């Protein structure tokens, strides 16, 4: 029986978020909070593996109390248990401090039930760094497999996992020992339409919530703002692309136009 833990985060929906033009920071009130889309695929994959091999899926998040909503979303998707670490001490954490706090929570979960596999989304859509997953793997001292787009096999008895990792020009087949950590791409699966019993379970569900004091062997200096060496020196909105030319006509005409435009740029062929 596998125990899979998916690490998830509640994020503002960056598709509709507005940027404050003066401070160049996100106006978080302008967008609803959603489950990070990559993390939804992480949970979906965990649930699919559970269905295939049997076991339990837990989800873990760090966030303020409203993030319970994101855990409930995971319960809808089929997760069995939800854990949340929530404390002022965690506030202001960068990826280093976040992966530290999550690791401490994972160690506590593992004491109750040993973990075979941790799955994270490739990255969050508000931070876009993709560092927390590998950070957790390093701290847990387990192999990180990033960019997973297909899980071929999980074999708990023999202690290995085989996956396809997405590369720029294809994919590679990798075998790793268990336990290990995946960060998954969006194309790993399609999110399934949650069955009604899951919806009802999620509506009732209250996750286990831990504060910093509930975690064991925690070095408080490594938590939150104090444990975050990252300095954000400047944030700016990407400049809107200017100029450009719109080609019109049939596909054939457009290709011909494009070709003549490219060929005219002699500097490209020197």
Residue 156: CB minimum distance to other proteins, A:
28
- Cα–Cα distance, 100 to 105 (Å, whole number): 9
Among 15, 158, 204, 266, binds other proteins (CB under 8 A): 204
24 vs 192, beta carbon nearer other proteins: 192
In angstroms, give the least distance from the CB of 33 to other proteins. 12
Per CB under 8 A, which region of 82-90, 150-158, 194-202, 240-248 contacts other proteins? 194-202
- Burial level of 247, CB count in 10 A (0-12/13-18/19+)? exposed
* Tokens (6 digits) for 149: 């787009």
Looking at beta carbons only, is 17 or 212 nearer to other proteins?
17
Do the beta carbons of residue 218 and residue 212 sit within 8 Å? yes
Q: Are 171 and 155 in contact (CB under 8 A)?
A: no
Q: Strand, helix or coil at 246?
A: coil
| Residue 1 binds other proteins, judged by CB under 8 A | no
Nearer to other proteins, 173 or 200 (CB): 200
| Smaller CB separation from other proteins, 98 or 189 | 189
HSE, CB side, 13 Å, CA atoms: give it for residue 175: 6
Q: Write out the DSSP string of 135-202.
A: HHHHHHT--EEEEEEEEEEEETTTTEEEEEEEETTEEEEEEEESSEEEEE-GGG--PPPPPHHHHHHH
Q: Which stretch binds other proteins (CB under 8 A): 10-18, 49-57, 188-196, 262-270?
A: 188-196
Token pair for 245: 């030319």
Q: How far apart are CB 177 and other proteins at their closest, in Å?
A: 36
* Binding of residue 197 to other proteins (CB under 8 A): yes
258 counts as binding other proteins under rule CB under 8 A: no
Rule CB under 8 A: choose which of 29, 114, 168, 196 binds other proteins.
196
Determine, following the binding rule CB under 8 A, whether residue 193 of this chain makes contact with other proteins.
Answer: yes
- In the complex with other proteins, the residue whose CB is nearer, 197 or 238, is 197
Task: Compute CA distances 100 → 124, 170, 221, 228, whole Å.
Answer: 17, 33, 11, 10
By CB under 8 A, name the one of 177, 195, 219, 258 that touches other proteins: 195
Does 191 engage in binding with other proteins (CB under 8 A)? no
* CB of residue 178 to other proteins, shortest distance in Å: 31
User: Under the rule (CB under 8 A), what is the footprint of other proteins?
Assistant: 193-197, 199-200, 203-204
């Amino acid at each position: 029986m596998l125990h899979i833990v998916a690490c998830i985060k509640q994020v503002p929906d960056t598709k509709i978020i507005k940027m404050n033009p003066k401070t160049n920071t996100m106006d978080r009130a302008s967008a609803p909070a959603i489950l990070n889309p990559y993390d939804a695929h992480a949970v979906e994959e965990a649930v699919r593996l559970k269905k295939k091999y049997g076991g339990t899926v837990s989800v873990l998040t760090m966030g303020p109390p409203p993030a319970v909503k994101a855990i409930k979303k995971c319960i809808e998707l089929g997760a069995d248990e939800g854990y949340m670490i929530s404390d002022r001490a965690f506030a202001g954490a960068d990826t280093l401090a976040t992966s530290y706090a999550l690791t401490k929570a994972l160690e506590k979960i593992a004491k109750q039930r040993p973990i075979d596999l941790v799955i994270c989304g490739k990255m969050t859509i508000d931070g876009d760094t993709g560092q927390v997953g590998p950070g957790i793997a390093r701290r847990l001292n387990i192999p990180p497999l990033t960019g997973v787009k297909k899980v071929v096999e999980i074999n708990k008895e023999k202690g290995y996992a085989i996956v396809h990792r997405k590369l720029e020009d294809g994919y590679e087949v990798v075998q790793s020992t268990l336990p290990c950590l995946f960060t998954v791409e969006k194309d790993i699966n399609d999110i399934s339409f949650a069955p009604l019993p899951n919806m009802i379970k999620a509506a009732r569900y209250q996750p286990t919530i831990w504060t910093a004091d509930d975690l064991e062997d925690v070095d408080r200096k490594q938590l939150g703002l104090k444990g975050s060496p990252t300095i954000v020196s400047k944030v700016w909105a990407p400049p809107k692309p200017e100029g450009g030319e719109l080609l019109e006509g049939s596909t054939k005409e457009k290709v011909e136009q494009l070709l003549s435009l490219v060929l005219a740029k002699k500097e490209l062929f020197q």
